[in-house]
Structure 1
Amino acid sequence: MSLCKHCVSGVRHEGTSEGKIEQIGGVECYVATPTVDYPKDKVVLFLTDVFGIQLPNNPLLADDYARNGFKVVIPDIVGVRKVIAALRESGVTKFGALGFCYGARPCFDLAFTNEVAVVAVAHPSLLQVPADFVRYKAESKAPLLINTCEIDSIFPAEAQATADEFFGEGKFAPGYQRVHWDGCTHGFAVRGDMSDPTVKAGKEGAFKASVEWLIKYL
């Protein structure tokens, strides 16, 4: 499945990131660390859209998650498993995964092998529907949150409904929730136009839902 125009467009958010670039397992990562005490054995992997660390929006959003008590690591998606191995060697035992657009694909892959304990994705792309849902339900134990939106050619209403058919109404014992944001377009949770009240509400709502999901299951 190809990416859409909304995957490679959006509004650049302004601000100064608070984390730092580190080499973890030989992979360049952005690391956002809480300023308060936090569980050192847990890390949230922030798996980005196609822009990676270079897009300011991604580190800024990682900082927001860190403010809620999670150590957050944005790895180069290609080197995710190297990063996980290195973090395990440093004492991390439990991982959560956040996936945005392109980053949802590796979230699912890590969930299939239960390398992550909880998954939250927003406007996912590159998923095979329904095949990935079949495999996730059969093999993963990671509770799954999907933030979806109204205008999304990559994960349209049909795919959203299929997710509910597979996981909803208690069909997936570990836990499932889909939160839908009307008036929002693919990419809203990372690159949305904050001058648009509807998009701003969607971005902030998806963030809140994801934070609450991580708090509940990580």
Structure 2
Amino acid sequence: MSVCKDCFKGQRPPNFLPIADELVCTFETIAGIKCYVGTPTVDYPRDKVVLYLTDAFGLPLVNNQLLVDDFARNGFKTILPDYLNGDGVPLDVMTSGVPFDVPAWIGRHSADVTRPVLDKVIDALKAEGVTSFAAVGYCFGGRYTFDLAFDGVIKAAAVAHPSLLKVPEDIEKYASTSKAPLLINGCELDDQFTPSAQATTDSLLEEFAPGYKREYFERVHHGFAVRGDMSDPKAKAGKEGAFKATVEWFHRYL
């Protein structure tokens, strides 16, 4: 499985701006796993949860926390589990270009290490009465969104610039095994999920009965929905457009 240079690049505040302007949610421990939890301040369905599956920078990246806050503001109980086990890519890799052993990091975060963490959190939430899950996966988290859909864990799926997918194999498997409506927020400048791969995905899922939609944002790079530079009008429009599309998708299908 591969990653690309843009998996580890991007902007943090103040160059990355949230939909709102402050963190409003809380850190909690669920099934022994540290999580960032967004709880709506208005009435919301207690039996539904959005799982926020992060990029390689994980829970410490404020950009991820800000997006959880924004999902909560839009009426979704949203939980970001630390499925990277406190071992996300160091934040200074993003902007300073410090040396970093990518293959070693990938090797420490195989599915047999990371997926059990998600399963523990999901099982604990089920025990509390949650019956419906959606997942939104960014970059590295896109792989796990697909896997949860394959296993029938989630009711709705959304990914933005997913990494680690095999095209067409994973798309063919999605079409044949998943029942979760799928939204893909894609972009033009993406070595991981290229425009060609996006077109192949369209052709394989155009008749996917549960529901399929792909958004496409021009002149933005892999990572735009989480780590884009908000001083760039295209990046700002892409980040906000992907978020809006995901909110609408979950309101429709979760």
Which bracket does the TM-score occupy, shorter chain normalised? over 0.9
Q: Aligned to 1:173, what secondary structure does the other structure show?
A: coil
What are the within-5 Å matches in structure 2 for residues 77-96 of structure 1?
A: 77=83, 78=114, 79-96=117-134
Q: Aligned to 1:120, what secondary structure does the other structure show?
A: strand
C-alpha deviations, 1:108-134, integer Å up to 9, x for none? Answer: 000001100000100000001111111
What are the within-5 Å matches in structure 2 for residues 127-142 of structure 1?
A: 127-142=165-180
Q: Aligned to 1:46, what secondary structure does the other structure show?
A: strand
What RMSD over aligned residues (CA atoms) do the two structures have, in Å? 0.9
Partner amino acid for 1:52?
Answer: G
Normalization by structure 1: what TM-score? 0.97
What are the within-5 Å matches in structure 2 for residues 1-218 of structure 1?
A: 1-14=1-14, 16-77=22-83, 78=114, 79-168=117-206, 171-218=207-254
Partner amino acid for 1:103?
Answer: G
C-alpha deviations, 1:64-107, integer Å up to 9, x for none? Answer: 01000000000123211110000000000000000000000010
Q: Aligned to 1:22, what secondary structure does the other structure show?
A: strand
- C-alpha distance in 1 between matches for 2:227 and 2:181: 25
Structure 2 portions without partners, runs of 5+: 15-20, 84-113
- C-alpha distance in 2 between matches for 1:101 and 1:72: 18
- C-alpha distance in 2 between matches for 1:13 and 1:57: 7
Partner amino acid for 1:68?
Answer: N
- C-alpha distance in 2 between matches for 1:17 and 1:5: 29
Equivalent in the alignment of 2:89: none
Number of aligned residue pairs? 216
Partner amino acid for 1:120?
Answer: A
- C-alpha distance in 1 between matches for 2:222 and 2:13: 16
How many angstroms does 1:10 deviate by? 0.2
How many angstroms does 1:5 deviate by? 1.2
- C-alpha distance in 2 between matches for 1:123 and 1:103: 10
Structure 1 portions without partners, runs of 5+: none
Q: Aligned to 2:59, what secondary structure does the other structure show?
A: helix
How many angstroms does 1:4 deviate by? 1.1
How many angstroms does 1:26 deviate by? 1.3
Partner amino acid for 1:192?
Answer: G
- C-alpha distance in 2 between matches for 1:20 and 1:129: 37
Normalization by structure 2: what TM-score? 0.84
Whether contact under 8 Å (1:119, 1:142) holds in the other structure is: yes
Partner amino acid for 2:11?
Answer: V
- C-alpha distance in 1 between matches for 2:234 and 2:57: 24
Whether contact under 8 Å (1:149, 1:186) holds in the other structure is: yes
How many angstroms does 1:158 deviate by? 1.4
Partner amino acid for 1:216?
Answer: R
Whether contact under 8 Å (1:13, 1:191) holds in the other structure is: no
How many angstroms does 1:13 deviate by? 2.5
- C-alpha distance in 2 between matches for 1:18 and 1:82: 25
C-alpha deviations, 1:130-183, integer Å up to 9, x for none? Answer: 111111111110000000001000111111011101112xx1000000000001
Equivalent in the alignment of 2:110: none
